[in-house]
Amino acid sequence: MDSDAPTTGKPNASQFIQDAEVRTRLDKVIQPWRLRLIVLAAAVVGVYFLIARSRPDSSTQAPPSAVHMVVPVAAVPAKLGDMNQYISAIGTVTAYNTVTVKSRVDGQLDKVNFTEGQLVKAGDLLAEIDPRPYQVQLAQAEGTLAKDLASLENAKVLLARDQELYNQRVLARQDLDNQQAAVGQYAGSIESDKGAVDNAKLQLVYSRITSPITGRVGLRLVDAGNIIHATDATGLAVITQLQPIAVDFGIPEDDLPSLETAMKANPQLPVEAYDRDFKHKLAAGTLLTTDNQIDQSTGTIKLKASFPNQDSSLFPNQFVNAKLLVNTLHDAIMIPAAGLQRSQQGSFVYVVKPDQTVEMRGVTVAATQGDVIAIAKGLAAGDLVVTDGVDKLQQGSHVSVQTAAIPPASTP
């Protein structure tokens, strides 16, 4: 049977094997290109979505007319003046002197000669203790002194007589020496008696209690008629000196270099006292002294300022806000703090130009004090600076200055 004869209706095994080998080879060749096509398609899709997201939404884009929209703003011209630089701190009003008035002798309190809250001067009579016991002691001491004086005179007469007898060799030397000793003894007693008299007089003086300082009397602690003693823990009243008065406050140690520099130029730096809200000025004074060390627990150094307090606006243990003047910037360009803006590029302001458009202008801040800022570079006196409505502005925006803000006054 011929091997080349065609077969009819029967599969050829060798042909199948050849076809399978061809398909396998084609798969090996096509598969890498298929993976590359899939990766390329995914990259194209990703780039498309990225570009689509980066494009601004047409619905959020401002219409062309918005570019020329007039923005109402408030603006104020930059002002040329002097700016005072302060160090502010919370302080406590303290009295220069506080005295608890006590009795120095024992006795019954006869009179109270002051009223609660009264202003008294040093030496004013405040109270009186029954003086009669001390008057009796004084009389006894004076009587003893008189007696010893008489005895001394008699001893001197006897000594003169004994001296004459001794010169005549009638009296022994020992008797003369005894009489001389008696004279000396009486002389010593007289000195002791004088001390007793002075002590009795002093006790009598102490029965009249006077004010040791000038100040305001507090509440009465003892009523008339009570027996008081020099050892009593509580006194009759407390007197506090109010004029002058002091304010103690602490400042951060970082402010110490500027304080020392200012004190070299003026040892008595001005200090102002304000109320808790920092709205009302209560008094003006001068720096008195600084502490000699820094408190490590708080990192502050204590200062004391003196205030005349003629109007009694400051009261002991009152909390106040103290402002210490350390420097003054002369001829500074000042604007309200609301006009200063900040970005990653630095500080800037919006300046209104004559054509009613705004310009973003970079500035350098020299100092800040409260609501006022001093500009070192970037502005000139008279430049109109936007203080309200800046959130709607950009470079070149058209504006209308509707409300002019009050120009910043020179910081007091």
Span 45-66, pLDDT tens digits: 665 566 555 554 433 344 444 4
pLDDT at 2 over 50: no
Question: For 259-275, how does the pLDDT look when each residue is reduced to its tens digit (9 = 90+)?
Answer: 999 999 888 899 999 99
- Say how far apart CA 361 and CA 351 lie, in whole Å: 7
- Count other C-beta atoms under 10 Å from residue 155's C-beta: 19
- Say how far apart CA 110 and CA 129 lie, in whole Å: 5
Structure tokens at 105: 């002798």
- Residue 412's nearest CA partner among 272, 255, 251 is 272
Least confident of 8-12, 132-136, 187-191, 400-404: 8-12
pLDDT of residue 32: 62
Q: Are 83 and 372 in contact (CB under 8 A)?
A: yes
- Phi/psi of residue 329, nearest 5 degrees: -90, 120
- Say how far apart CA 237 and CA 169 lie, in whole Å: 72
Provide CATH code, domain 131-206: 1.10.287
408 dihedral zone (left: phi>0; alpha: psi -120 to 50; beta): beta
Non-local CB neighbours of 253 within 8 Å, separated by 6+ positions: 294, 299, 300, 301
Residue indicated by tokens 């020299």: 366
pLDDT of residue 4: 45
Q: Are 171 and 165 in contact (CB under 8 A)?
A: yes
Q: Mind spelling out the 3-state secondary structure of 335-358?
A: EEHHHCEEECCEEEEEEECCCCEE
Q: What is the pTM of this model?
A: 0.63
Length of the chain: 412
pLDDT at 242 over 50: yes
Question: For 333-368, how does the pLDDT look when each residue is reduced to its tens digit (9 = 90+)?
Answer: 999 988 888 888 889 999 988 888 888 988 988 888
Q: Are 251 and 87 in contact (CB under 8 A)?
A: yes
- Count other C-beta atoms under 10 Å from residue 287's C-beta: 23
Q: Are 336 and 267 in contact (CB under 8 A)?
A: no
Mean pLDDT in residue range 123-145: 94
Could you please state the CATH topology (level 3) that the domain comprising 70-83+330-404 is classified under: 2.40.420
- Say how far apart CA 77 and CA 401 lie, in whole Å: 12
Residue 337: strand, helix, or coil:
helix
Structure tokens at 252: 């951060």
Structure tokens at 17: 């094997």
